[in-house]
Structure 1
Amino acid sequence: MPGTTASSPIRVSDEVRAALAEDLPVLALESTIFTHGLPRPANVETAREAERTIREKGVVPATIGVVGGVPTVGLSDAEIERLSSSDAVVKASVRDLITTAESKQDAGTTIAATALLAHRVGIAVFSTGGLGGVHHGASTTFDESADITSLATTPIVLVSSGAKAILDIGATLERFETYSIPVVGYGTDRYPGFFVQDSGFPVPNRADSPEAIAHMFDFSRSLGLSSAVLVGNPIPEHEQMDPAYLDGVIEQAWAAAEAAQVRGQDATPFLLDFIQRSTGGESLRANIALYRNNVALGCEVARAVSSISRA
């Protein structure tokens, strides 16, 4: 099993290691959602709730982060608390894993880094909230998330509610196509819009069951394809925000970011924080709801993938 030998720089919890050895279902979770994405105390509450839900569904949770510079797959509850409560925790994408190791820093892992670490130890399915992608104005700033290029070379199933609402969704979908990353709508022909069900763009593929996703992923592996399978799982209709209202708030958020000259890796947390404050916490409620929904689907897909592996 890759990434779990004594010489590996990745620390894998005993629970996750044992589950992988027996081909039991395991679901990976990122840590930036509670280190940088959600406010306290909702961050640690959401992280713990996700792990409880996964276990209740008969799946092993593998929350991934960096503790003291060590990439860790299967954070303990104490480590989740540690990463959730410190202002010194940094955000680590793939390129940052080597620098956090050198400085022995704690870090929340982004989608890109989490997917890489999950794949390295043999985890096939990963649930998150919203993807990174192409930012508005990227034609001049070249501001694109490393999530895109990382997912092009990391064969894993990633369940999300689409790209984050602050991004250029059309350009993001074009980049997925350029990198031959398959995008599958779960029970929908429309690409999800993070806080809302429909981003306004179609998806080229659809799956109506976890088993269908698992078979797509199995066929992808049999072909030796290197890319992830992106599953767009829309937020439940009764949980979504009002689309027109959200569009107005996003415009205000971008104007505020421009005025404050916020750029690069700081842009996403700034924009999401602005939206949360401007909506009186409505976006926070929607964010947690869509994450719960993705965790639930991730469990179903992990079980289906595990069944194929054992067969």
Structure 2
Amino acid sequence: MTREHGRVPLVYSEEVADALAEGRPVVALESNVITHGLPYPDNAATARKVEDAVRAGGAIPATICVEGGQIKVGMTDEDVERFASTSGIPKVSSRDLPVVLAQGGLGALTVASSVVAAELAGIPFFSSAGIGGVHRGAEKTMDVSSDLIQFTRSKVAVVCAGAKSILDLNLTMEYLETHCVPVVSYRSDDFPAFYCVSSGIRSPQRLDDEQVIARAVDNHWALGNNSSFLITTPVREEDAIDASEVDAAITGAMAAAERDGVRGNAITKYLMRAVDAATEGRSSRANMSVLVSTAEVGGVWPPPMRGMSGRPPDPSAAPPRSPSAPGRFGVPGKPYPRIPKNQGIAPARVRAVQTSHRVRALSRPGTQRKGRTV
């Protein structure tokens, strides 16, 4: 099914289109992990395992990519195989998305561009192994992942295993706090660090009940926020890598990257490969594990939030209000009540306005005040 959002064409797979039309839960997935993650054929096999994990949780997976000037919402097995075996497919972040769409070629979407596409497609849930963040040394380089920027702009709930260990995780958490992006850890006390169970940083919130998290996400948007909501879940203990081992590898790799002049977009892949070499390939296996485990949790979340998953959006229509969503005074389905003049809270407001006028009047030259001219 093809549908335009403004001038951006969205092409839905039959499975995803049917699920959205019927109000069944759908989880968006990024395609960048296929083209810029593991080597072929492991990348194709892992992509299918991730989609199977979403289905096991009760939701429909929608891996998103760009092809022929269109955003494809839901990749077929043939699409996955082609992207996995084709070299040179560009990594497309949110800033690159308009250009790649205009060029009409292939593009693999990152976390940032995936949440843009998911919101356009009417899919409120997205799952990723790990998000980007503030890079180490950002006080000199200003290197901050576009993932964080996009989280301040897109209304999508993001399930992930925290942020990658190669980042400055303290500054990443500070950034999210500054921009009022909620971070909730599911059945865990700490903010995880990709293939490390814990970053050593206490999570702002721990919630163990899916229904409570579902209500929290709904409340976040009902309160007028237009930003994302992060739900973290750590990698399985048996697949995790010790944080001190990873940190030692990163410290050495950072020094080597500085010496070799590796900067910008190239630094992430450089550091990840260094960690993989230092752990003798265990980090790659952990990478595969965390992709699947986050997808399993991501597939569980949408069912309590079925009212948030619906048909592809009509760009000409006003955003729908869920029947259970609170109105502006917290009453389901009821609009902001009209308050008659001089009733309810009106007198207090009138007094405030009168006081304001009086203050401005007294500030004018020549105004009489208690028998003297000001």
TM bin (shorter chain): over 0.9
With over 3 angstroms needed to count, the CA separation of the structure-2 counterparts of 1:58 and 1:261, relative to structure 1, is: same
Residue segments in structure 1 that go unaligned for 5+ positions in a row:
none
Contact 1:66–1:107, Cα closer than 8 Å, also in 2: yes
Contact 1:189–1:203, Cα closer than 8 Å, also in 2: yes
Percent of aligned pairs with the same amino acid: 38
With over 3 angstroms needed to count, the CA separation of the structure-2 counterparts of 1:75 and 1:226, relative to structure 1, is: same
- How far residue 308 of structure 1 moved from its aligned partner, in angstroms, is 6.7
Q: Deviations over 1:8-28 (max 9, x none)?
A: 422222221221122101011
User: How many Å separate the matches in 1 of 2:183 and 2:278?
Assistant: 31
Equivalent position of 1:128 in the other structure: 128
Equivalent position of 2:82 in the other structure: 82
TM norm structure 2: 0.79
The farther-off stretch of 54-63 and 160-169 is 54-63
- How far residue 224 of structure 1 moved from its aligned partner, in angstroms, is 2.2
Residue segments in structure 2 that go unaligned for 5+ positions in a row:
310-321, 325-374
Equivalent position of 1:278 in the other structure: 278
Equivalent position of 1:248 in the other structure: 248
Letter in 2 for 1:233: T
Equivalent position of 2:150 in the other structure: 150
User: How many Å separate the matches in 1 of 2:142 and 2:122?
Assistant: 32
SS in 2 for 1:11: strand
User: How many Å separate the matches in 1 of 2:26 and 2:295?
Assistant: 12
- How far residue 171 of structure 1 moved from its aligned partner, in angstroms, is 0.4
Q: Deviations over 1:75-114 (max 9, x none)?
A: 1111111111122101101111111122222111110100
Contact 1:4–1:12, Cα closer than 8 Å, also in 2: no
User: If each structure's helix is expressed as a fraction of its own residues, which one has the higher value?
Assistant: 1
In the alignment of these two chains, the number of paired residues is 310
User: How many Å separate the matches in 2 of 1:301 and 1:88?
Assistant: 34
Contact 2:65–2:72, Cα closer than 8 Å, also in 1: yes
Contact 1:154–1:228, Cα closer than 8 Å, also in 2: yes
Say yes or no: does 1:141 pair with 2:141: yes
Question: How large is the RMSD of aligned CA atoms in angstroms?
Answer: 1.9
Equivalent position of 1:220 in the other structure: 220
Equivalent position of 2:30 in the other structure: 30
User: How many Å separate the matches in 2 of 1:278 and 1:72?
Assistant: 37
Equivalent position of 1:197 in the other structure: 197
- How far residue 230 of structure 1 moved from its aligned partner, in angstroms, is 0.5
Equivalent position of 2:160 in the other structure: 160
User: How many Å separate the matches in 2 of 1:113 and 1:69?
Assistant: 15
Equivalent position of 1:187 in the other structure: 187
- How far residue 209 of structure 1 moved from its aligned partner, in angstroms, is 2.5
Q: Deviations over 1:212-263 (max 9, x none)?
A: 2211111112222111110111112222112221111111221222222111
Say yes or no: does 1:105 pair with 2:101: no
Contact 2:199–2:243, Cα closer than 8 Å, also in 1: no
Say yes or no: does 1:230 pair with 2:211: no
Letter in 2 for 1:33: V
